[in-house]
Structure 1
Amino acid sequence: MERPLLLHMNGGEGERSYANNSSVQRKIMLRAKATLEETITRLYCHSSPNCMKVADLGCSVGPNTLGVMSNIIDLVDAACVRLNSEPPTFQFYLNDLFGNDFNTIFKSLPDFYTKLMQDKGHKFGSCFVNATPGSFYGRLFPTNSIDLFHSASSLHWLSQDPFLGLSNEALNKGNCHLDSRSPPSVYTTYLKQFQKDFELFLKSRWEELVAGGAMVLVLLTKTETPRRSIWEAISLTLTDMLLEGLIEEEKLDSFNIPIYEPTIEEIRHVIREEGSFFIQELETVIVPWDEGRNEDDDENVRAQFIVRYTRAVMEPLLSANFGAKVMNEFFIRFQKKIVQLMQVEKLEYANLVISLTKIT
């Protein structure tokens, strides 16, 4: 039986929380807003549901979660005005794995509802919000029940360590992700896990979407222009700590970051082979690792910004494998590694924005 991936971001609203260190993810989501608008307009031209049911997959915690709901309400409202139709009731389903900090999300809902009423008055329908914990690599909702799926900065996460249960775990010895030193067999193992996961994701969403339903997905991608991944920087830092005896070799060899950044062609191939969706739009968005920071900022300041949001995402996973005692030392070294890399190369994320429509 496969072991589930117990992944979650740093919860709460403290200094190291994901809620307070996710501005880069928010910037990426805003870059995808035009695609979301076009998708909602197409959806409303096909049908005007009395109750608009939307699921945000991999919602995590913090202002980005509420921002997704606000954006969708605004875009649906604008579509209703253009089409001279009544605004719907909204039903939002916030999905993430069981370890996600749903409590912090729901504590912030009263302020969200107050602001919504201030902005919209009585010109929009009721808005209901539910939590739907569980892996999106499988069924989450009843058949033909959801109008729109949204997922940002989530689908590059795999359902499990790609080497779990395989006899060739040592193939990635000394590394915890893909990099220039990884043999082809490591790439193949990661790719096969991604293909298996993404195919299951598509099958599950097809079952759950209404006729004409749609999805907007945003995930990290690999482009023809080579770019260093932040996961490789993490791997390099861990390798340095191993060489100095600060972490155990067995722990590093058994740890593989469960993330795969597919190429556009790899994405297209799975969608085409699975056959349940039509690609409406597909766009690549490039964002610097230190997006939002002033270019005149000192390198250490910019690197510290990168470390804060990386820690908010990766600390629970790293701590579970290497122990909480080495986390401060790891992130001090990680910041130094980022500064070194900044001095010799441009550090950027490539993100794929996809709009899909259910084929019926």
Structure 2
Amino acid sequence: MSMPCQLCHISNSFSLMPIKILSVVKPIIDEAVQKMLCSNIAPIGSMGIADLGCSPGPNTLLLISIIIDAIHATSCSSSSTEFRVFLNDLFSNDFNTIFMSLPAFYNQLKEEKGDGFGSFFISAVPGSFYGRLFPAKSLHFVHSSSSLHWLSQVPPGLDCQAAGKALNKGKIYISKTSPQCVLEAYSLQFHKDFLLFLKSRAEEIVGGGRMVLSLMGRSSSDPSTQESCYQWELLAHALMSMVSEVNT
């Protein structure tokens, strides 16, 4: 089955968007890392770094490079620090794509930073970040970009039919035609998920640790505006087209 042109457009947009977001967030990451390192009286011997909802491609290693550069540029850092880097996403994520790029990444890191910049241990931690993923007080810096808008589940009541009629038929988002109960269901699910996310990270991050989160936003309070729904509309049309092909 060929990929619909709408889905190709979505794929290209999503692959470029993280790079643009990282360029905007980089100064925030730099400041957060500097304050974290310089607020500790004693050097951090083993630093835990987590990227939650990581990309399956090269964008993840680009983020790690940005964090490493921020640490390297901080005079408060120690050359003997060990870095435990955890890459997290759902179990279906293709972590192998990232791991195959690690030898070249390590070689580049060694050329740029030298042997005295500490040791790196990169591993994958599959699972939902809407819950505990790491031991208590094991992380120093947590990052997540363009992931927290994905809910842990379809809001209760929207994945079934009420009175013989689907509440949000043909949609995977809040649209102009969605009734008020759909908006409220999505809002309640997000608040529940985000609270669980924050509670979980509060147990996993050490005192004085830092967290940088990038979330999708909008300039209007209306969740059904085009700036909020354009890409989801294309994705919905693509999915409906694929379903039609399967059923014919």
Q: Fold-level match, TM-score > 0.5?
A: yes
Bigger mean CA offset, 123-132 vs 83-92:
83-92
Count how many residue pairs are aligned between Structure 1 and Structure 2.
234
Matches within 5 A, 1:231-242: 231-235=229-233, 238=236
SS at match of 1:55: strand
Judged with a 3 Å threshold, the aligned counterparts in structure 2 of structure 1 residues 166 and 191 are, in CA distance, closer, same or farther, namely: farther
- Using the alignment, how far apart are the partners of 2:184 and 2:13 within structure 1? 36
Matches within 5 A, 1:91-240: 91-163=84-156, 168=162, 170-224=166-220, 227-229=225-227, 231-235=229-233, 238=236
- Give 1:232 deviation, angstroms: 4.4
SS at match of 1:149: strand
Matches within 5 A, 1:1-360: 22-47=15-40, 48-79=43-74, 81=75, 83=76, 85-86=78-79, 88-163=81-156, 168=162, 170-224=166-220, 227-229=225-227, 231-235=229-233, 238=236, 322=243, 325=246
1:137-164 Cα offsets, whole Å, 9 max, x none, are: 0000001111111001111111111245
Kept in 1: contact 2:71–2:77 (CA 8 A): no
Structure 2, unmatched stretches of 5+, are 1-7
Aligned CA-pair RMSD: 3.1
- Using the alignment, how far apart are the partners of 1:99 and 1:237 within structure 2? 20
- Give 1:197 deviation, angstroms: 0.4
Judged with a 3 Å threshold, the aligned counterparts in structure 2 of structure 1 residues 233 and 78 are, in CA distance, closer, same or farther, namely: closer
Bigger mean CA offset, 53-62 vs 218-227:
218-227
Bigger mean CA offset, 168-177 vs 124-133:
168-177
SS at match of 1:178: coil
Kept in 2: contact 1:146–1:208 (CA 8 A): yes
- Using the alignment, how far apart are the partners of 1:144 and 1:237 within structure 2? 39
1:311-335 Cα offsets, whole Å, 9 max, x none, are: xxxxxxxx6xx37759xxxxxxxxx
- Give 1:214 deviation, angstroms: 1.4
Kept in 2: contact 1:95–1:132 (CA 8 A): yes
- Give 1:29 deviation, angstroms: 1.4
- Using the alignment, how far apart are the partners of 2:88 and 2:236 within structure 1? 31
Judged with a 3 Å threshold, the aligned counterparts in structure 2 of structure 1 residues 234 and 200 are, in CA distance, closer, same or farther, namely: closer
- Using the alignment, how far apart are the partners of 2:175 and 2:147 within structure 1? 21
Matched AA of 2:67? I
Structure 1, unmatched stretches of 5+, are 1-14, 248-318, 327-360
1:295-349 Cα offsets, whole Å, 9 max, x none, are: xxxxxxxxxxxxxxxxxxxxxxxx6xx37759xxxxxxxxxxxxxxxxxxxxxxx
- Using the alignment, how far apart are the partners of 1:152 and 1:237 within structure 2? 20
- Give 1:59 deviation, angstroms: 0.6
- Give 1:23 deviation, angstroms: 2.2
- Give 1:176 deviation, angstroms: 2.6
- Give 1:45 deviation, angstroms: 2.0
Judged with a 3 Å threshold, the aligned counterparts in structure 2 of structure 1 residues 152 and 323 are, in CA distance, closer, same or farther, namely: farther
SS at match of 1:172: coil
Please give the TM-score of this superposition, normalised by the length of structure 2: 0.83
Judged with a 3 Å threshold, the aligned counterparts in structure 2 of structure 1 residues 106 and 173 are, in CA distance, closer, same or farther, namely: same
1:16-53 Cα offsets, whole Å, 9 max, x none, are: 9x799712211111210111111111111222311111
Please give the TM-score of this superposition, normalised by the length of structure 1: 0.58
Judged with a 3 Å threshold, the aligned counterparts in structure 2 of structure 1 residues 147 and 236 are, in CA distance, closer, same or farther, namely: closer
- Using the alignment, how far apart are the partners of 2:100 and 2:12 within structure 1? 13
- Using the alignment, how far apart are the partners of 2:119 and 2:90 within structure 1? 27
Matched AA of 2:118? G
- Using the alignment, how far apart are the partners of 1:101 and 1:143 within structure 2? 27
